[in-house]
Amino acid sequence: MDIIETIKEQIANNTILLYMKGAPNAPQCGFSAKASQAIMACGEKFAYVDILQNPEIRANLPKYANWPTFPQLWVAGELVGGSDIITEMAADGSLQTLVKDASAKAAVDKTEA
């Protein structure tokens, strides 16, 4: 499968997806640590992709997303942004609202399928 198709599939199949360096419980950079902590604080399950273990994704996602840096948070198929945006949204409460709403909608969609 083409790497762009893989990226599209990951985004489509995961309501809340964080592309990061490392894992949420073992981040490999400060920006990924801040982002994953903010998302974990929302209390919803989320998927992640360790771009250090996936060099093809690391090389191709910035072009696909038109976003040059990592981490990248995707919610309901839309790019939210990177560490600064995630941190700002966490501070003003909008991240929790976005994550909880997307999670609730995904749960409803699954029960209706």
- Largest Cα span, the chain: 40
User: Residue 43 burial by CB count (10 A; 0-12/13-18/19+): exposed, middle or buried?
Assistant: exposed
The binding site for [2Fe-2S] cluster comprises 29
- pLDDT value at position 1? 73
The pTM is what? Answer: 0.95
- What is the full per-residue pLDDT of the chain (113 aa) written as tens digits? 799 999 999 999 999 999 999 999 999 999 999 999 999 999 999 999 999 999 999 999 999 999 999 999 999 999 999 999 999 999 999 999 999 999 999 988 877 76
Alpha helices in the chain (DSSP H): 3-13, 30-40, 55-65, 83-92, 94-112
The whole-number pLDDT of residue 111 equals 79
Binding residues for glutathione: 21, 58, 70, 83-84
Residue numbers belonging to the annotated binding site: 21, 29, 58, 70, 83-84
Domain boundaries, the chain: 3-112
CA 87 to chain centroid = 13
Q: What is the token pair recorded at 29?
A: 């950079």
For the domain 3-112, what is the CATH code? 3.40.30.10
